[in-house]
A = this chain, B = another copy of it.
Amino acid sequence: MVPYFRAIVPAGGAGTRLWPLSRRGAPKFLLDPFGSGRTLIQATWDRLVPLAGPDGIAVVTGAAHADAVRGQLPSTAEVFTEPAPRDSMPAIGLAAAVMTYRHPSAIVGSFAADHVIGDNVAFSDAIRGAIEAAREGLVATIGVRPTGPSTAFGYIQAADPLAGLAARRVAEFKEKPDAATAQGYIAAGDYRWNAGMFVARGQTLMDRLTEFHAGLADGLWTIARAWDTADRDRVLGEVWPTLPRIAIDHAIAEPLAPLGGMAVVDGAFAWDDVGDWRSVGTLAAPAADGARHVTIPPRSPISPAAAAVLIDSPDALIASHSERVVAVVGVSGAVIVDTPDALLITTRESAQLVKEAVNELTRRGREDVL
């Protein structure tokens, strides 16, 4: 455990990109797509306990998911319920303001509830480096060393090393690039994947927010002062609806970088945001039948009877709730997601378009399968 360190886990998301496995009522963070025995939010908890301790982790989630989150985590987890979604800055800022009001020396870190990380020790090392930078008044982020020119992630351009720290100053944040730009980033060498992790003294984070979005910071402080009193619900109900929707990247990280206030620490671990079915296809382990499988509850793990038949169909990903035979013939990179009420057929290449299918079902009013 690191003294004064508190972890914030924003757990939101509409559940569209891994549809029909993820749903509005069952977003990705509540699922265990790789059969590890722990859901993604449980794995996030496991990763943070050595740093923040079981009493130092807060989850910020919507009212619809608060009970499910409490059901999956130990009772020491603090669950902040957002009255309505306001994107990541209000969500993270709410917990950060409350923690800082309680403990003015708190150092806070925010970590998505639904990412996969391959090496918890290397993760801890990176966060400890970020905490050191945070102690110096910087807002620190983790830049994951790219394993290839992904166009699915944003990038962080690193500048000069910061004296005495295992960190460099952030030159600039870059949106998801096109393929040629991504190739250029990899060739240049100074670019890292933006894993969406931020570590700062709570007071620093709130001060920076005051500089860039004073009204938002004021609102969060107002809520924080009332949080541990009988006025919590009243104040939350009054103030929350007035807060702007904004992501922490846009609210703090991007404007702060050119001012020299952002640090980036290398993350020397495998990381993925499990952002689409292509990503799941890469992360799931290949089985003896040549396919990669994702087990959809209530099904138990893959039995030999369920082995897929793949004819001229490399790189198949099969997510199924049933034991029935799945045969794939002549489809490269096939993605098959077989749930009781919805069947998705796509390919790794087209995985980013799945959200369009969800949009179409929304237009058709098919709330029953969303």
Cα distance A356–B307 in the bound complex, in angstroms = 16
- Asked if B324 contacts A357 (CB within 8 A), the reply is no
| Beta-carbon contacts under 8 Å, A272-324 to B | 307, 309, 311-312, 324
| B343, A326: Cβ atoms closer than 8 Å | yes
Are A357 and B343 touching (Cβ within 8 A)? no
Q: Are A328 and B345 in contact (CB under 8 A)?
A: yes
Tell me if B329 and A366 are in contact (CB < 8 A).
no
Residue A73 lies at the interface, judged by CB distance under 8 Å to chain B: no
Per assembly, the copies of the chain total 2
Contact A326/B350 with A311-B356, A331-B331 known, Cβ cut-off 8 Å: no
Q: Is the CB of A309 within 8 A of B343?
A: no
0/1 string, A339-366, CB within 8 A of B gives 1: 1111111110111011011001100101
A334→B53 CA distance, assembly (Å): 51
Provide the residues of chain B in CB contact with A311, threshold 8 Å. 350, 353-354, 356-357, 360
User: Complex Cα distance A364/B309, Å?
Assistant: 10
Flag whether A165 is at the interface (Cβ < 8 A): no
Q: Is A330's CB within 8 Å of the partner chain B?
A: yes
A181 to B349, CA, bound (A): 35
CA A159 – CA B127 in complex, angstroms?
84
Which of B326, B353, B354, B357 makes the CB contact (< 8 A) with A345?
B326
A350 touching B312 by the CB < 8 A rule? yes
Residue of B nearest to A307 (CB): B364
**Nearest B-chain residue to A336, judged by Cβ:** B345
Q: A309-B361, A311-B356, A312-B350 are in contact. Are A343 and B325 (CB under 8 A)?
A: yes
Does A330 contact B312, Cβ atoms closer than 8 Å? no
A354 touching B325 by the CB < 8 A rule? no
In the complex, which residues of chain B have a beta carbon less than 8 angstroms from the beta carbon of A349?
330
Most buried by B among A324, A330, A336, A360: A330
A327: Cβ under 8 A from any B Cβ: yes
Q: Which 8 A-B pairs have the closest CB atoms?
A: A330-B350, A329-B346, A327-B357, A325-B342, A311-B356, A326-B343, A328-B345, A327-B344
**A324-B340, A331-B346 known, 5 other contacts, Cβ within 8 Å:** A312-B356, A324-B343, A327-B342, A328-B346, A329-B357
